[in-house]
């Protein structure tokens, strides 16, 4: 008998729904839908998601509506429908009690305050008027307050707040949007806020007092969802200068928070940008400056500002009262993890903040704000954190039987990745493992993720570099399990392929991997490569001619060092002497000559530094990796016409040489050509050289697509220029995971899985 005949005869259907369907108001949604459509039966949660028994009514329409009208926070991976011959003949539709719990149901990311909750908070007739912790099944804290699975109130930091009668009634009412909203709270029973200074609570209305202080130009430490922020009035240059001084952060851009009308006053917001800002993940979106300028010291030298919308009722209430945008930078000492505990904040942020806006709901997971950037080719994820984790990614075809893998990522933008049940869980951004406190937090996160998601790896993956802290931890954790070391740039390629669902057996891809630094298979340091490879292996088809990293780590901090080395290499030592007259060039050249503390590197990240330093951008010192490159991109954007006249990079066999490029620049420089023109010609030349090297691989039939990854592809201009050269070729880019080292762990994980499955 065919399936169709069975369905015709059936009186009921059993629907199995998988995905992110718990803790998002899915059951009340199903209940209401059933009422509306005259469907009888039951819905309940179980270990794999949600199950429904449905009879009566138009079941096809019911099934379609389940997907098309699902609550905002739900993510449906699959709906399996089977006929039920002996379906229960219920006369009503009920929400039945949960059956079992499991870790496969997906923990929901934290979500920005929904419109309904915001309306209540602003309505004096509501009992949650002015309440900083209003939330419902459509919004509020989730992962940030989660101590364990299953996701029940008892397993969150809301456990210590017993519900009042009114909240309990909402919690138990299937018609209420707070039905089974685990973090439900109100002023009578939930968390509270207060303002404190010098260790003592200040009596009075905390919001009013905070507003007055911000308007006076003070700096507040504000406890949020995933950690503390340091906040000040974004229109007050003196307050911003004070914050920079206290935080010892001279140049790195500060994030801003504003309502949409506030953002529109200072930035260009297209409809795509607006949609991304308003996503429940409330990420920071980089937006081009436009309209009324904010003080330059918010983001010195950059053409973009990072904006986010308020995402908790506390933020909304504060912005309403201040009536202007706020600087909201993470509450930490430079390089350290953000503070999350009240005592920790008092201790660590006491020297930065004039007062603390505190609350008494514990933050369980430290989650930095996510940072994204929109390009004509989709969003770029610069930092993956609050609002985006712990959402999982489905693995590509061929990985159905992949083993459980734990991958430990890289060093500076560290993250972890767990593979299980055909899905990848890429952790939140964990930061630079050189910092001892970040290292502690990273190890804690590794333990937390394993416990929360009941992860039992049979394979462990890490970087090829055995001395990275992450690699050493991986070796310890692996114990008797196989430890698979993955080359850094192969991992970037793997991450890009996996995100784009490139099947396991679809053959090789040509990866243009433009990056900072990673150990190569020849023991030199790579970072400007065309790799042709699949999930199992790769070859290095082309790379940038290496230059010495003179001074080792110092070359990453001081762009002028890379400039001198590249100019020397191009026969322009005299020009280097002129440009960097006051710098200790002799020491550098000696190091390069002897090779001591000057390892050769093909890094394009460092090439960007070299070009930026030649143009006088952050040449002596950059306060963070990427500062010089970001300023170079900002400058290039000012000369769009110059993209048509790329500087020449010579390609000889497998080598891309920057010497001719620097010679062309030197003659432009002598002719007084503006720096912005040179910045643009540099971008265009680099893009053309690598795109054409990748094209060679495609045309020779050695690769089926081009993948773009590595930290340099955070540069939207570079991405766009490379894409333009490859218009007729399938190009894979990362839009949901970071192309920078934040995505490394994903690549390590899929490569380790593939090698294990294929026994290589
Ligand atoms: Zn809500
Ligand atoms: Zn209550
Ligand atoms: Fe990298």
Domain map (residue ranges) of the chain: 3-95, 193-359, 392-500+738-758, 511-732
Cα(278) to ligand 2 centroid in Å equals 28
Q: Which ligand is nearest to the CA of 189?
A: 2
User: Of 385, 279, 319, 317, which is closest to residue 133 (Cα–Cα)?
Assistant: 317
**What's the topology of domain 3-95?**
Alpha-Beta Plaits (3.30.70)
Tell me whether residue 247 is exposed, middle or buried, using C-beta atoms within 10 angstroms of its C-beta: 0 to 12, 13 to 18, 19 or more. buried
Q: Is it the case that residue 48 has pLDDT exceeding 90?
A: no
Q: What is the pLDDT of residue 10?
A: 53
Cα(707) to ligand 3 centroid in Å equals 14
Cα(111) to ligand 1 centroid in Å equals 9
Q: Which ligand is nearest to the CA of 187?
A: 2
User: Of 619, 548, 623, 608, which is closest to residue 583 (Cα–Cα)?
Assistant: 619
Tell me whether residue 612 is exposed, middle or buried, using C-beta atoms within 10 angstroms of its C-beta: 0 to 12, 13 to 18, 19 or more. buried
Write out the DSSP string of 695-757.
Answer: HHHHHTTS-S-EEEESGGGG-HHHHHHHHHHTTTS-EE--SSS-SSGGGHHHHHHHHHHHHHH
Cα(219) to ligand 3 centroid in Å equals 35
pLDDT tens readout for residues 494-551: 999 999 999 999 999 999 999 999 999 999 999 999 999 999 999 999 999 999 999 9
Q: Which ligand is nearest to the CA of 520?
A: 3
Cα(223) to ligand 1 centroid in Å equals 20
Q: Which ligand is nearest to the CA of 316?
A: 1
**Token reading at 381:** 């994820």
Report how far apart, in Å, the C-alpha atoms of 354 and of each of 302, 563, 603 are. 28, 42, 43
Q: Which ligand is nearest to the CA of 710?
A: 3
Q: Is it the case that residue 301 has pLDDT exceeding 90?
A: no
* Whether 61 contacts 68, CB under 8 Å: no
Q: Which ligand is nearest to the CA of 178?
A: 1
* Whether 287 contacts 269, CB under 8 Å: yes
Residues 392-500+738-758, CATH architecture: 2-Layer Sandwich (3.30)
Cα(177) to ligand 1 centroid in Å equals 8
Cα(684) to ligand 2 centroid in Å equals 59
Q: Which ligand is nearest to the CA of 116?
A: 1
Cα(231) to ligand 2 centroid in Å equals 29
Report how far apart, in Å, the C-alpha atoms of 556 and of each of 516, 548, 621 are. 9, 12, 9
pLDDT band per the 50, 70, 90 thresholds, residue 6: very low
pLDDT above 90 as % of the chain: 88
**How far apart are alpha carbons 656 and 650 in whole angstroms?**
6
Q: What is the pLDDT of residue 197?
A: 97
Q: Which ligand is nearest to the CA of 712?
A: 3
136 vs 72, more confident: 136
Sign of the torsion formed by the C-alpha atoms of 566, 465, 365 and 142: positive
Cα(146) to ligand 1 centroid in Å equals 18
**How far apart are alpha carbons 311 and 112 in whole angstroms?**
4
Cα(388) to ligand 1 centroid in Å equals 18
Cα(431) to ligand 3 centroid in Å equals 14
Cα(130) to ligand 2 centroid in Å equals 14
Cα(184) to ligand 2 centroid in Å equals 7
Cα(184) to ligand 1 centroid in Å equals 10
pLDDT tens readout for residues 535-545: 999 999 999 99
Cα(63) to ligand 3 centroid in Å equals 44
Fold agreement (392-500+738-758, 511-732): yes
Q: What is the pLDDT of residue 106?
A: 65
pLDDT band per the 50, 70, 90 thresholds, residue 98: confident
Cα(427) to ligand 2 centroid in Å equals 33
Cα(520) to ligand 3 centroid in Å equals 11
Cα(168) to ligand 2 centroid in Å equals 7
pLDDT tens readout for residues 11-26: 789 999 988 888 788 9
Cα(372) to ligand 3 centroid in Å equals 18
Cα(374) to ligand 3 centroid in Å equals 21
Q: What is the pTM of this model?
A: 0.94
Q: What is the pLDDT of residue 47?
A: 78
Average pLDDT score over residue span 333-350: 94
Q: Is it the case that residue 1 has pLDDT exceeding 80?
A: no
Q: Which ligand is nearest to the CA of 739?
A: 3
Cα(342) to ligand 1 centroid in Å equals 26
User: Of 277, 405, 313, 381, which is closest to residue 751 (Cα–Cα)?
Assistant: 405
Cα(314) to ligand 2 centroid in Å equals 17
Residues 6+ apart with CB under 8 A from 64: none
**How far apart are alpha carbons 39 and 87 in whole angstroms?**
13
Cα(133) to ligand 1 centroid in Å equals 10
Residues 511-732, CATH architecture: 2-Layer Sandwich (3.30)
Cα(629) to ligand 1 centroid in Å equals 40
Average pLDDT score over residue span 68-86: 88
Cα(605) to ligand 3 centroid in Å equals 10
- Using alpha carbons only, what angle is made at residue 697 by residues 692 and 699, rounded to the nearest 5 degrees? 85
Cα(425) to ligand 3 centroid in Å equals 19
Q: What is the pLDDT of residue 155?
A: 92
Cα(759) to ligand 3 centroid in Å equals 27
Cα(72) to ligand 2 centroid in Å equals 24
pLDDT tens readout for residues 661-707: 999 999 999 999 999 999 999 999 999 999 999 999 999 999 999 99
Cα(464) to ligand 3 centroid in Å equals 12
**How far apart are alpha carbons 87 and 74 in whole angstroms?**
27
Q: Starting at the edge strand that comes first in sequence, how are the strands of the sheet with 228-233 ordered? A: 200-201, 193-197, 355-359, 220-223, 228-233, 326-330, 255-257, 304-308, 284-288, 371-375, 378-383
Rounded to the nearest 10°, the torsion over CA 5, 7, 10, 14 is: 150
Q: Which ligand is nearest to the CA of 134?
A: 1
Alpha-helix residue ranges (DSSP H) falling in 173-298: 206-215, 237-247, 260-266, 271-278
**What's the topology of domain 193-359?**
DHBP synthase (3.90.870)
Q: Which ligand is nearest to the CA of 162?
A: 2
Containing 541, the helix (H) or strand (E) segment is strand 538-544
* Whether 332 contacts 302, CB under 8 Å: no
Q: Which of 44-53, 561-570, 645-654 has the lowest mean pLDDT?
A: 44-53
Cα(518) to ligand 3 centroid in Å equals 6
């Amino acid at each position: 008998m065919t399936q169709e005949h069975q369905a015709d005869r059936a009186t009921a259907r059993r629907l199995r729904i998988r995905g992110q369907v718990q803790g998002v108001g899915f059951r009340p949604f199903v209940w209401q839908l059933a009422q509306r459509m005259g469907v009888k039966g039951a819905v309940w949660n179980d270990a794999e998601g949600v199950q429904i028994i449905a009879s009566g009514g138009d079941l096809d329409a019911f099934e379609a509506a389940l997907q098309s009208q699902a609550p905002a926070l739900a993510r449906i991976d699959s709906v399996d429908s089977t006929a039920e011959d002996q379906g229960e003949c219920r006369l009503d539709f009920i929400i039945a009690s949960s059956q079992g719990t499991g870790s496969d149901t997906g923990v929901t990311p934290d979500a920005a305050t929904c419109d309904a909750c915001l309306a209540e908070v602003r309505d004096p007739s509501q009992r949650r008027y002015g309440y900083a912790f209003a939330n419902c099944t459509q919004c509020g804290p989730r992962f940030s307050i989660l101590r364990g699975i299953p996701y029940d109130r008892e397993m969150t930091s809301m456990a210590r707040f017993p519900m009042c009668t009114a909240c309990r009634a909402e919690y138990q009412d299937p018609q209420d949007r707070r039905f089974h909203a685990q973090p439900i709270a109100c002023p009578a029973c939930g968390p509270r806020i207060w303002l404190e200074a010098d260790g003592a609570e200040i009596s009075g209305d905390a919001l009013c007092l905070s507003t007055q202080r911000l308007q006076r130009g003070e700096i507040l430490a504000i406890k949020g969802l995933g950690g503390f922020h340091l906040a000040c009035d974004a229109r007050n240059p003196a307050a911003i200068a004070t914050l920079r001084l206290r935080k010892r952060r001279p140049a790195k851009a500060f994030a801003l928070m504003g309502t949409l009308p506030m953002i529109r006053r200072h930035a260009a917001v297209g409809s795509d940008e607006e949609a991304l800002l308003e996503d429940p993940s409330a990420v920071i979106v980089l937006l081009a400056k436009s309209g009324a300028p904010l003080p330059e010291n918010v983001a010195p030298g950059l053409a973009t500002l990072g904006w986010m919308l308020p995402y908790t009722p506390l933020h909304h209430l504060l912005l309403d009262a201040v009536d202007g945008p706020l600087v909201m930078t993470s509450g930490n000492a430079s390089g350290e993890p953000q503070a999350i505990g009240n005592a920790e904040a008092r201790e660590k942020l006491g020297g930065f903040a004039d007062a603390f806006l505190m609350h008494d709901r514990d933050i369980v997971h430290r989650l930095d704000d996510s940072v994204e950037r929109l390009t004509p080719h989709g969003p770029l994820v610069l930092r993956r954190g609050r609002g985006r984790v712990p959402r999982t990614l489905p693995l590509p075809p061929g990985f159905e039987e992949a083993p459980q893998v734990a991958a430990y990522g890289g060093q500076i933008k560290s993250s972890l990745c767990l593979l299980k049940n055909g899905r990848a869980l890429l952790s939140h951004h964990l930061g630079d493992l050189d910092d001892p406190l970040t290292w502690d937090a990273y190890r804690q996160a590794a333990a937390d993720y394993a416990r929360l998601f009941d992860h039992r790896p049979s394979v462990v993956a890490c970087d090829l570099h055995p001395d990275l802290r992450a690699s050493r931890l991986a070796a310890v954790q692996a114990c008797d399990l196989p430890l698979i070391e993955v080359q850094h740039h192969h991992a970037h390629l793997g991450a890009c392929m996996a995100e784009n669902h490139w099947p396991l057996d679809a053959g090789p891809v040509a990866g243009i991997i433009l990056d900072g630094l990673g150990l190569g298979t020849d023991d030199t340091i790579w970072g400007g490569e065309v790799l042709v490879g699949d999930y199992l292996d790769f070859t290095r088809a082309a790379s940038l001619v290496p230059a010495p990293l003179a001074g080792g780590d110092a070359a990453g901090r001081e762009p002028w060092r890379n400039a001198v080395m590249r100019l020397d290499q191009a026969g322009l030592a005299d020009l280097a002497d002129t440009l960097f007259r006051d710098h200790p060039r002799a020491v550098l050249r000696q190091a390069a000559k002897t090779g001591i503390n000057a390892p050769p590197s093909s890094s394009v990240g460092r090439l960007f530094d070299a070009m930026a330093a030649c143009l006088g951008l952050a040449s002596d010192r950059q306060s963070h990796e990427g500062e010089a490159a970001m300023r170079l991109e900002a400058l290039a954007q000012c000369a769009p016409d110059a993209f048509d006249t790329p500087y020449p990079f010579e390609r000889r066999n497998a080598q891309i040489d920057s010497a001719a490029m620097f010679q062309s620049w030197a003659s432009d420089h002598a002719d007084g050509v503006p720096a912005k023109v040179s910045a643009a010609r540099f971008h265009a030349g680099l893009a053309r050289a690598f795109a054409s090297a990748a094209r060679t691989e495609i045309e020779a039939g050695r690769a089926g697509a081009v993948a773009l990854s590595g930290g340099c592809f955070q540069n939207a201009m570079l991405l766009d220029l490379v894409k333009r050269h490859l218009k007729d070729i399938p190009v894979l880019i990362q839009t949901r995971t970071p192309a920078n080292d934040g995505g490394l762990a994903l690549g390590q994980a899929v490569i380790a899985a593939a090698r294990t499955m294929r026994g290589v």
